[in-house]
Chains A and B, each alone.
Chain A
Amino acid sequence: MIDLKFTKSHEWVKLDGEIVTIGITDYAQHQLGDVVFIELPEMGDKFDQGSQFGTIESTKAATELFIPLTGEVVEINSELSNNPQWVNENPLGKGWMIKIKVNILSEMGSLLDEGSYKKILEDEINK
């Protein structure tokens, strides 16, 4: 059973022990439109929870990507640089961005489960 969690800033997190995979949600890619460029960090870069780890761009907007959990980058989806459209086509699959090794397991509690994330989306759409 895959454990998928979410953030208010529309990133998703897939947990697999202390390694987690990170990407943006379907809602986020839809809001952004056609993705043309993604700037990702380097292997070994370390981030604190909530800090910016990259940028994602459409032709008309650039949005920051925020790291859901404190950790160190251990893998990067390097094929995204040539295929940014994957984020649109399959944001939860081949549109994944980075994998990190998490440092502070207690931070997991701050992530949203699917139900709470959906509620946030509803609020946002109604705004």
Chain B
Amino acid sequence: MDRKTIFDKTADLRRSDYFSSPGVPLISPGDVLSPQFLRDDLFLPSLGELDVVRHYSNLAKLNFSVDTNFYPLGSCTMKYNPKINESMSSLEGFTSIHPYQREDMTQGALELLYDLEQKLCEITGMKRFTLQPSSGAQGELAGMLMIRKFHELMGNKKNKVIIPDSAHGTNPATASMCGYDTLVIDSNSQGLIDIEKLRSMVDDKVAAIMLTNPNTLGLFEENILEISNIIHNKGGLLYYDGANLNPLLGIVKPASMGFDVVHLNFHKTFSTPHGCGGPGAGVVGVGDILKDFLPVPLVNKKNDKFYLDYEIKNSIGKVRTFYGNFNVLVKAYTYILRLGRDGLLRVAQNSVLNSRYLKEKLKKYYELAYIKDCMHEVVFTCEKQKERGASALDISKRLIDFNIHPPTMYFPLIVKEALMIEPTETESKETLDNFIQIMIEINKEIDVSLEKLKNSPLTTILKRVDEVNVARNPKVRWIKDKKSI
């Protein structure tokens, strides 16, 4: 296997002439700009198109993906990404419009954004959405800053945000970026928020609680209305991390659970591809009390014309340039149109059905972290396997040999040796049955061929990589003839 970087492959000058000289007098920058502004040299590789296409095509072969592998990565909702989404989002009428073009030239884009917002309001029960945030984390930032500004304007002196011990790391990180202290609420023995502890924790200094529901253990917070009352009674607000909305589509609206702010991850629930970690979209919906705090602009309609409205009374401002990851929004809109009311419901039903099937079939072999009925994902603890010699990491790496992407490991943090499995609704029973067989097989291997497990993966181009030395002495860029920065 050739592991040369593109920089090691540079040849003598090859060029592809992607554009021609514009016909104006070509001016050497040195004729107009002072030499202090100009660079001396720039090393970049010179390759032909085939060199480049082959390089990246070969790199692609080294990756697992949803299109090529079962990818039961918990909390990430690696569902199938419909191809119609891609072809619609690459229409020239969407890719070749400039954000500062006049609104009468982009009525189609504005109409799409307007209608998408309406549909999201119906799906979640929220009153309005900003489509601006680029990811769930940026959505959290926007949402929590709205909460902050709301409290400031109301004269509420609040400095704390409550976050469950099972929460995604983005929640506490966001709270800090908004200047709040994080208070951690423990989960009880059933994997749900400990209501009595919560009650004793909440005072009038609490600005909000940030929750996913179902939580990261895959369990529905059954006492959500009581939680909502406890928080609201002290003047706090409820923030919904929509990472796990998938199993509630058409079943429960976040608004009816008492949430004041909701972010949705389009790259999870609404089938836009993850693209090696982005771009996604983290749109944020709010109830009536926070409507006036949304980022600018919103899309509104007047006399059948759509326009960008910058007149939002208490807006927190902008959270990024322009109007969001528009191209991603087109994909999610396509998906929602395609599914409609029945399709959305089926998503929820089948996502739960599939995960419950895995839970039922695997619980004899792997211990459940919590026995309660799970929703769209199930968390096992491999503590028993660890005692026999194989950790959650070993089991995960061995799955790669069977062409299956490992589940989320060691998360949530409150479960030791955790494996968090989310099959999603788009996988077939055959795929699940195959996965079940392999998991049973691996469990057997612990007793008969432990070494194999410890050395896995065995079929990839590489064995396990050394993550320790690189963290001690990081090499994060290529340098000619040198291996460190």
- Which A residues fall within an 8 A CB radius of B? 34, 36-37, 57, 59-60, 84-85
Question: Smallest distance from the beta carbon of B468 to chain A beta carbons, Å?
Answer: 4
Residue of B nearest to A57 (CB): B471
Residues of A within 8 A of B472 (CB): 36-37, 84-85
Cα of A59 to Cα of B465 in the assembled complex, Å: 13
Residue of B nearest to A85 (CB): B472
Question: Smallest distance from the beta carbon of B53 to chain A beta carbons, Å?
Answer: 35
Residues of A within 8 A of B410 (CB): 60
Residue of A nearest to B469 (CB): A36
- B467 in the interface (beta carbon within 8 A): yes
Of A37, A57, A59, A84, most buried by chain B (CB within 10 Å of CB) is: A59
Question: Smallest distance from the beta carbon of B484 to chain A beta carbons, Å?
Answer: 13
User: Can you offer 13 A-B residue contacts whose CB atoms are under 8 A?
Assistant: A34-B468, A36-B468, A36-B471, A36-B472, A37-B471, A37-B472, A57-B471, A59-B467, A59-B468, A59-B471, A60-B410, A84-B472, A85-B472
Number of A-B residue pairs with CB-CB distance less than 8 Å in the complex they form: 13
Question: Smallest distance from the beta carbon of A78 to chain B beta carbons, Å?
Answer: 16
Question: Smallest distance from the beta carbon of B309 to chain A beta carbons, Å?
Answer: 44
- CB-CB contacts below 8 Å: B451-476 with A: 467-468, 471-472
Residues of B within 8 A of A85 (CB): 472
Cα of A44 to Cα of B271 in the assembled complex, Å: 55
Question: Smallest distance from the beta carbon of A17 to chain B beta carbons, Å?
Answer: 35
Residues of B within 8 A of A37 (CB): 471-472
Residues of B within 8 A of A59 (CB): 467-468, 471
Cα of A49 to Cα of B272 in the assembled complex, Å: 51
Cα of A77 to Cα of B410 in the assembled complex, Å: 33
Cα of A59 to Cα of B467 in the assembled complex, Å: 7
Question: Smallest distance from the beta carbon of A4 to chain B beta carbons, Å?
Answer: 28
Known: A36-B472, A57-B471, A59-B471. 9 other contacts (CB 8 A): A34-B468, A36-B468, A37-B471, A37-B472, A59-B467, A59-B468, A60-B410, A84-B472, A85-B472
Question: Smallest distance from the beta carbon of A121 to chain B beta carbons, Å?
Answer: 18
Cα of A93 to Cα of B327 in the assembled complex, Å: 58
Question: Smallest distance from the beta carbon of B386 to chain A beta carbons, Å?
Answer: 15
Cα of A36 to Cα of B466 in the assembled complex, Å: 12
- Which B residues fall within an 8 A CB radius of A? 410, 467-468, 471-472
Cα of A37 to Cα of B467 in the assembled complex, Å: 13
Of B410, B467, B471, most buried by chain A (CB within 10 Å of CB) is: B471
Residue of B nearest to A88 (CB): B468
Cα of A60 to Cα of B467 in the assembled complex, Å: 10
Residues of B within 8 A of A60 (CB): 410
Cα of A60 to Cα of B410 in the assembled complex, Å: 10
Residues of A within 8 A of B467 (CB): 59
Cα of A59 to Cα of B471 in the assembled complex, Å: 7
Residues of A within 8 A of B468 (CB): 34, 36, 59
Cα of A3 to Cα of B467 in the assembled complex, Å: 37
Cα of A32 to Cα of B375 in the assembled complex, Å: 33
Residues of B within 8 A of A34 (CB): 468
Residues of A within 8 A of B471 (CB): 36-37, 57, 59
Question: Smallest distance from the beta carbon of A110 to chain B beta carbons, Å?
Answer: 26
Cα of A40 to Cα of B472 in the assembled complex, Å: 15
Cα of A60 to Cα of B468 in the assembled complex, Å: 10
Cα of A36 to Cα of B469 in the assembled complex, Å: 7
Cα of A36 to Cα of B468 in the assembled complex, Å: 6
Residues of B within 8 A of A57 (CB): 471
Q: Which 7 A-B pairs have the closest CB atoms?
A: A36-B471, A34-B468, A36-B472, A59-B467, A59-B471, A84-B472, A59-B468
Question: Smallest distance from the beta carbon of A60 to chain B beta carbons, Å?
Answer: 8
Residue of B nearest to A81 (CB): B472
Of A34, A57, A60, A85, most buried by chain B (CB within 10 Å of CB) is: A34
Question: Smallest distance from the beta carbon of A32 to chain B beta carbons, Å?
Answer: 12
Cα of A57 to Cα of B410 in the assembled complex, Å: 17
Cα of A58 to Cα of B471 in the assembled complex, Å: 8
Question: Smallest distance from the beta carbon of B485 to chain A beta carbons, Å?
Answer: 15
Question: Smallest distance from the beta carbon of A92 to chain B beta carbons, Å?
Answer: 21
Cα of A85 to Cα of B466 in the assembled complex, Å: 14
Question: Smallest distance from the beta carbon of A61 to chain B beta carbons, Å?
Answer: 10
Residue of A nearest to B467 (CB): A59
Question: Smallest distance from the beta carbon of A20 to chain B beta carbons, Å?
Answer: 28
Residue of A nearest to B472 (CB): A36
Cα of A84 to Cα of B468 in the assembled complex, Å: 11
Cα of A37 to Cα of B472 in the assembled complex, Å: 6
Residues of B within 8 A of A36 (CB): 468, 471-472
Cα of A34 to Cα of B468 in the assembled complex, Å: 7
Cα of A57 to Cα of B474 in the assembled complex, Å: 14
Cα of A71 to Cα of B472 in the assembled complex, Å: 30
Residue of A nearest to B471 (CB): A36
Cα of A59 to Cα of B474 in the assembled complex, Å: 12
Question: Smallest distance from the beta carbon of B169 to chain A beta carbons, Å?
Answer: 12
Question: Smallest distance from the beta carbon of A53 to chain B beta carbons, Å?
Answer: 21
Question: Smallest distance from the beta carbon of A125 to chain B beta carbons, Å?
Answer: 14
Question: Smallest distance from the beta carbon of A33 to chain B beta carbons, Å?
Answer: 8
Cα of A84 to Cα of B474 in the assembled complex, Å: 13
Cα of A56 to Cα of B467 in the assembled complex, Å: 16
Question: Smallest distance from the beta carbon of A84 to chain B beta carbons, Å?
Answer: 6
Question: Smallest distance from the beta carbon of A7 to chain B beta carbons, Å?
Answer: 23
